[in-house]
A and B are shown apart, each in its own frame.
Chain A
Amino acid sequence: MSILTETPIDLVPGPSSDRSEGQLLEVSMGPQHPSTHGVFRMDVTLDGEKVVKLKPVFGYLHRNHEKIAETESYLGCMPYTDRLDYICSITNNWAYALAVEKLAGIQVPERAEYLRIITGELTRLQNHAGLVGFLMQDMGASGTPLMYAFREREKVLDLFEALTGARMMCNYMRFGGCRVDVPANWLQQAQKVIDGFPQFLDEFENLLTSNEILMARTQGVGVVTREQAINAGISGPMARASGVNYDLRKVDKYGIYDRFSFRVPLGEHGDVYDRYMLRALEMRESIEILKQAMRDLPAGPIMDPNTKIRGFRPKAGEAYGRIEGPKGELGFYLISDGTASPYRYRVRPPSLINLTLLEDMCLGQNVADIVIILGSVDIVLGEVDR
């Protein structure tokens, strides 16, 4: 790795042809490359099969989210947060609602907190299942694992649809609670999905965990050391796969996470295999949380009665609300000047920050490994570009 970076690479006017050991090749992967996630582009410089330089290029999906939010009402921003990480709209809602609740000092009723945990953990389940499926697809296991993962994800999305009306753009949370209470039979349906999930995980792990090809492709690939992860501010499963014990559900105990007993899985090697394994283990912990939350779900109101939906004007001030999203620490920073729209609205997207280590992970690896390293980071471009 270090030998290759010692000689400066001059890309202008192009790869030089007089290198005795051969030419460098500059490849542009994406934004329409079938194996990148979303519209993400990487300028990769290759020496044979080895990566010597990688420049991530993003911004193709930039939608001016933060600036638009400054012209919207506080409520009007909520459906836009769905579109950040569009796989996990409910956790985005949650982080934003948490920030506004901190800003305005709103209390959330008990039942709403439980519903938030239930929907939030279901979101984590379907995100991780989908991600592992995509990762296998990137690796060349065309279809099969992805199809199984999506089949299970559909069941969770059906639950979301029955509860919120939409499969992906749920727009479920409100400041001071949740928008709607569970419909009749929803809890039984949810219990069925939750009870069936461990069986799927067992089968999924039988299919993948000890597969020799998977191990050969992923072990020792794309290593992030503990120090690197901490220095780069990585969070979520990426950081925990490198052995950083940092889970906001334990650190912040936002909402009512302190009432649940669950473990935080940690990786040892920080390679792609650990990241896969960590997600599989996290899904099992999520199921534990879900079981406890379903058991303890109290009756009661789901909205703080003193919170206005329209004409909501928090006092001037600032607040930062953060949660442990399925991809990492998702934070919203809000400044209010007392008017109906935020004065400043800033998102801390876990995907973007986890992506900053991409070049370090890829240097010296093969081209084919770039794809799985990128897949294991778990990015959603809606959130990276905003």
Chain B
Amino acid sequence: MLGEGILKGLTETARNFLGSYVSKDRLTTIQFPEERLPQIEATRDFPFLVYDGTEWEAGLRCVSCQICEKECPPKCIYIEKSKDKKPDATGKLQFYPTTFNIDISVCMSCQICVEVCPFDAIKMNVEFEMSSEDRFGGLLLRKEQLAKSNEYYNKIHPTEATAVDAALAEERAKAEAKARQTTEAKAATPAPMATPEAGETK
């Protein structure tokens, strides 16, 4: 019968219209910004720099190796490496970036910088309300705007951050153990001659 298909379709629209009052699955929109969807954990948009401790400048993990600058596909990272070294959060002497800029109007949120960074120094942020009228003031992020604490990182990406923290702690423990071993070995090197066992094996 002509018109049957249209009637059938109308029952579907009615089902969806009425259903939207009872089932969330049938709702097409939410009232942003009053209503917000929960943040999905893996979400990423623009990179930021992680620092340990409370002082952002002293705690930056970045050692200015410039790998991310080289690997970034649209080349939107600009780094100037320091001439001197200064102690990082663990007290080891490291180079640091005197300038670290990311032009987020060029950045395409690909997170390749995160993937290639050997020091877990750069991670992806989730902040998206960043519209600005000022292209260079608002969208060219400098070191001080990029620096975010490790707590912040733990807050936005808990699972990932916990894994990173564990890996870093393990690495540090290993490095410390190795350092202890070498100092012990150093202290022990002149000793063998004097020890009785050494004498016996001779």
Contacts and interface: CB of A to CB of B under 8 A. Distances in A.
Interface string A34-73: 0000000000000000000000000000000000000011
A309 B116 contact: yes
B9 A75 contact: no
Contact of A207 (B9, B44, B110): B9
Given A150-B28, A212-B2, A310 B71 contact: yes
Contacts of B115: 179, 309
A72 B42 contact: no
A210 B159 contact: no
Interface in A163-208: 163-166, 169, 171, 179-180, 183-184, 196, 203, 206-208
A75 B177 CA distance: 36
Contacts of A203: 12, 15-16
Nearest to A196: B25
B26 interface: yes
A76 B73 contact: yes
A79 interface: yes
A206 B72 CA distance: 48
B42 A206 contact: no
Main secondary structure on A side of the interface with B: helix
Nearest to A152: B25
A248 interface: no
Contacts of B67: 310
Nearest to A159: B40
Interface string B1-37: 0111110110111011000000001111000000000
B71 A73 contact: yes
B15 A165 contact: no
Contacts of B25: 196
B54 interface: no
A253 B8 CA distance: 40
B147 interface: no
A144 interface: yes
Contacts of B5: 209-212, 214-215
Nearest to A150: B28
A164 B28 contact: no
A206 B71 contact: no
Interface residues of A, number: 42
A80 interface: yes
Contacts of A164: 42
A338 B33 CA distance: 51
B151 interface: no
A310 B116 CA distance: 7
Contact of B9 (A77, A161, A206): A206
B162 interface: no
A162 B41 contact: yes
A344 to B, nearest CB: 18
A158 interface: yes
Contacts of B3: 212
B43 interface: yes
A161 B42 contact: yes
A151 B28 contact: yes
A339 B116 CA distance: 19
A169 B112 CA distance: 13
A254 interface: no
Nearest to A161: B40
The listed residue with most A CB atoms (<10 A of its CB), out of B9, B28, B73, B111, is B9
A299 interface: no
B49 interface: no
Nearest to A163: B42
B43 A161 contact: yes
5 closest A-B pairs by beta carbon, nearest first, are A79-B110, A210-B5, A165-B44, A76-B73, A207-B12
Interface of B: 2-6, 8-9, 11-13, 15-16, 25-28, 40-44, 67, 71-73, 108-112, 115-116, 124, 159
25 contacts: A76-B71, A79-B73, A147-B28, A148-B16, A151-B26, A158-B40, A161-B43, A162-B42, A164-B42, A165-B111, A166-B109, A171-B112, A180-B42, A183-B41, A196-B25, A203-B15, A203-B16, A206-B8, A206-B11, A207-B13, A212-B2, A212-B3, A212-B5, A212-B6, A213-B6
Given A163-B42, A206-B9, 6 more contacts: A148-B16, A196-B25, A207-B13, A209-B5, A212-B5, A310-B71
